[in-house]
């Protein structure tokens, strides 16, 4: 489990989502999207299916990564609003596979 710190939350009411910027600290390897998604959902008290991890950027020199994620009000909105490559990655994580 990564140590997660929410840096900012920005409400986007027209898109029915909240954009999250967070920082994840880790001890060994960079956590995968599934683990980060689970930790974010737990921290934000929402269902995992509502969270889309858009980007994971490792921070050089420290065992931390910057996370950019979006939390949707409804699961159905994800298919309407996310880009194709993000949806493909999201569906792989949902099925338990990690995007390559």
In a domain? residue 82: yes
Which residue range forms the structural domain that includes residue 33? 3-94
Is there a domain that residue 80 lies in? yes
Residue 100: inside a domain, yes or no?
no
Give the CATH number of the domain where residue 72 resides: 3.30.70.330
What is the tens place of the pLDDT at every residue in 8-42?
Answer: 999 999 989 999 999 998 888 888 888 999 999 99
Q: Work out how many domains the chain is built from and give that number.
A: 1
Give the full edge-to-edge strand order of the sheet including 64-72.
3-12, 17-25, 64-72, 51-59
Question: Would 69 be classed as within a structural domain?
Answer: yes
The pTM assigned to this predicted structure is: 0.78
Residue 99 resides in a domain: no
pLDDT for the residue numbered 2: 62
């Amino acid at each position: 489990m990564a140590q997660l710190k929410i840096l900012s939350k920005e409400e986007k009411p027209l898109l029915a989502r909240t954009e999250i910027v967070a920082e994840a600290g880790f001890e060994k390897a960079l956590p995968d999207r599934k683990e980060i998604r689970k930790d974010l959902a737990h921290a934000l008290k929402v269902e995992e299916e509502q969270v889309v991890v858009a980007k994971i950027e490792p921070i050089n020199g420290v065992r931390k990564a910057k996370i950019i994620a979006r939390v949707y009000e409804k699961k159905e909105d994800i298919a309407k609003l996310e880009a194709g490559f993000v949806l493909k990655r999201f569906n792989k994580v949902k099925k338990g596979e990690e995007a390559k």
